[in-house]
Amino acid sequence: MLEEVHVPPLSLDAYGAIAGEDAIAEIRRLAEPLRGARVLHVNATKFGGGVAEILPTLTGLLRDVGLQPEWRLMPGDDSFWNVTKLMHNGLQGMDVALEAERRQIYERTSRRLATAFEGTYDYVVVHDPQPAALRSLRSEAPGRWIWRCHIDLTAANPDVWGFLRPLVEAYDAAIFTLPDYVKPDLRLDVLAFIPPSIDPLSPKNMPLAPALVDDVLHRLGVDPQRPLLLQVSRFDPWKDPQGVIDVYRAVKRTIPDVQLALVGSMASDDPEGWEIYRDVVRYADDDPDITILTNLDGVGALEVNAFQRAADLVLQKSLREGFGLTVSEALWKGVPVVGGRVGGIPMQIGEGIGGRLVTTNDEATEACLELLADADLRQRLGEAGRERVRRNFLSTRNLRDDLALFNALRLGDAALVPTGQVV
Ligand code: UDP
- Full strand arrangement of the beta sheet holding 313-316: 290-293, 259-263, 228-232, 313-316, 337-340, 355-358
Is residue 356 over pLDDT 80? yes
| 323 in contact with ligand 1, CB cutoff 6 A | yes
- CA–CA distance from 394 to each of 23, 66, 124, 330 (Å)? 11, 20, 22, 13
3-state secondary structure of 62: helix
- CA–CA distance from 253 to each of 257, 259, 313, 403 (Å)? 9, 12, 17, 51
Is there a contact between 62 and 11 (Cβ–Cβ < 8 Å)?
Answer: no
Topology alike, domains 3-197+394-416 and 210-392: yes
Instruction: List, for residues 41-84, the tens digit of each pLDDT value.
Output: 999 999 888 999 999 999 999 999 999 999 999 999 999 999 99
What is the predicted pLDDT for the residue at 80? Answer: 97
Judge residue 17's burial from the number of C-beta atoms within 10 Å of its C-beta, 0-12 exposed, 13-18 middle, 19 or more buried. exposed
Atom of ligand 1 nearest to the CA of 232: 5
Provide mean pLDDT across the span 264-288: 90
Residue closest by Cα to atom 17 of ligand 1:
50
What is the predicted pLDDT for the residue at 347? Answer: 97
Instruction: Assign 272 a pLDDT band (cuts: 50, 70, 90).
Output: confident
Instruction: List, for residues 361-412, the tens digit of each pLDDT value.
Output: 999 999 999 999 999 999 999 999 999 999 999 999 999 999 999 999 999 9
Closest CA to 157 of 214, 73, 90, 228: 90
Question: Under CATH, what is the fold of the domain 210-392?
Answer: Rossmann fold (3.40.50)
Instruction: List, for residues 6-48, the tens digit of each pLDDT value.
Output: 999 999 999 999 999 999 999 999 999 999 999 999 999 998 8
Instruction: Give the distance (Å) from ligand 1 centre to CA of residue 35.
Output: 32
Instruction: Assign 267 a pLDDT band (cuts: 50, 70, 90).
Output: confident
What is the predicted pLDDT for the residue at 265? Answer: 83
Strand 68-73 vs strand 3-4: parallel, antiparallel, or unpaired? antiparallel
What is the predicted pLDDT for the residue at 271? Answer: 79
Q: What percent of the chain has pLDDT over 70?
A: 100
Provide mean pLDDT across the span 125-153: 98
Q: What is the mean pLDDT of the chain?
A: 97
| 340 in contact with ligand 1, CB cutoff 6 A | no
| 329 in contact with ligand 1, CB cutoff 6 A | yes
Is residue 268 over pLDDT 80? no
Is residue 123 over pLDDT 80? yes
Provide mean pLDDT across the span 281-289: 98
At 38, which amino acid appears? Answer: R
Closest CA to 129 of 121, 139, 98, 116: 98
| 330 in contact with ligand 1, CB cutoff 6 A | no
Is residue 244 over pLDDT 80? yes
Instruction: List, for residues 155-176, the tens digit of each pLDDT value.
Output: 999 999 999 999 999 999 999 9
84 vs 365: CA distance, rounded Å: 34
Is residue 149 over pLDDT 90? yes
What is the predicted pLDDT for the residue at 142? Answer: 98
Instruction: List, for residues 296-327, the tens digit of each pLDDT value.
Output: 899 999 999 999 999 999 999 999 999 999 99
Question: Under CATH, what is the fold of the domain 3-197+394-416?
Answer: Rossmann fold (3.40.50)
Residue closest by Cα to atom 14 of ligand 1:
49
What is the predicted pLDDT for the residue at 266? Answer: 81
- CA–CA distance from 364 to each of 88, 135, 229, 291 (Å)? 26, 43, 12, 20
Residue closest by Cα to atom 25 of ligand 1:
49
Instruction: List, for residues 168-226, the tens digit of each pLDDT value.
Output: 999 999 999 999 999 999 999 999 999 999 999 999 999 999 999 999 999 999 999 99
Ranges of each domain in the chain = 3-197+394-416, 210-392
Is residue 269 over pLDDT 80? no
| 327 in contact with ligand 1, CB cutoff 6 A | no
pTM: 0.96
303 membership: H or E segment, kind and range: helix 301-310
